[in-house]
């Protein structure tokens, strides 16, 4: 191939820029529903930045460090595609600062949609280059939330099967 043809061919070849998505939440603690959403998002994006959103109005059970450790333990060999960070600011700003093209949000029920839709519209107004991608939670996890799990664990309920085993252990330790 002549140098001119080679240069023309390389200019027309698509350049793959890794796609990055952020998945925000308090993850207090991470649940199997969260893990399901993250694994499915990994099929759509090259990298997922799990962002622990610091919300001054919430009183978390687990420290930031504990939540980061629990999240990282969930993904073992996939860790090269997953990063865990924190922010106290706007998620859409965080997404831009981290080169993300999308914010992943999980929906459990129709009741989640109204709030999530409003949030997505505001994020779109603030930054048009960041899309919101909604993923429906798997049917197995539709009824669970971190709050419900913490309440069950606080009262001695068995949370096996709704959180990873190491999270169940951490909950038992917190409430013993």
Instruction: Answer yes or no: 140 catalytic.
Output: no
Q: 48 lies in a domain?
A: yes
pLDDT band at residue 76, thresholds of 50, 70 and 90?
A: confident
Catalytic residue among 81, 108, 124, 174: 108
Q: Quick check: 95 and 127 in contact, CB under 8 A? A: yes
Q: 12 lies in a domain?
A: no
pLDDT for 56: 79
Q: 140-170 as b/e, with b when 16 or more CB fall inside 10 Å?
A: ebeebebeebbeebeeeeebeebbbeebbeb
Q: 91 lies in a domain?
A: yes
Nearest to 42 by CA among 80, 92, 73, 90: 80
Instruction: Answer yes or no: 108 catalytic.
Output: yes
Query: Does residue 147 have a pLDDT over 60?
Result: yes
Q: How many independent structural domains does the chain possess? A: 1
Task: Give the residue numbers spanning the domain of 27.
Answer: 17-143
Catalytic residue among 67, 105, 146, 150: 146
Put simply, whether the predicted model's pTM sits higher than 0.85 gets the answer: yes
Q: 7 lies in a domain?
A: no
pLDDT in tens, 30-58: 999 999 999 999 999 999 999 999 987 88
Catalytic residue among 6, 8, 58, 129: 58
Rounded to the nearest angstrom, the gap between the alpha carbon of residue 5 and the centroid of all alpha carbons in its chain is 44
The CATH number of the domain where 76 resides is what? 3.40.50.620
Q: 150 lies in a domain?
A: no
């Amino acid at each position: 191939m002549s140098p001119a043809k080679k240069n023309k061919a390389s200019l027309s070849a698509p350049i793959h820029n890794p796609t990055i998505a952020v998945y925000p939440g308090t993850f207090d603690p991470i649940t199997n529903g969260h893990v399901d959403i993250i694994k499915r998002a990994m099929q759509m994006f090259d990298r997922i930045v799990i962002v622990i959103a610091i919300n001054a109005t919430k009183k978390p059970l687990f420290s930031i460090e504990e939540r980061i450790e629990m999240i990282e333990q969930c993904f073992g060999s996939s860790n090269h595609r997953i990063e865990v960070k924190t922010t106290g600011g706007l998620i859409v700003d965080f997404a831009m600062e981290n080169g993300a093209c999308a914010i992943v949000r999980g929906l459990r029920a129709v009741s989640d949609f109204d709030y999530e839709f409003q949030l997505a519209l505001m994020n779109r107004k603030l930054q048009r280059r960041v899309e919101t991608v909604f993923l429906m939670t798997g049917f197995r996890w539709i009824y669970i939330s971190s709050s419900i799990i913490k309440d069950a664990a606080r009262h001695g309920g068995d949370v096996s099967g709704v959180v990873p085993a190491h999270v169940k252990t951490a909950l038992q330790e917190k409430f013993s």
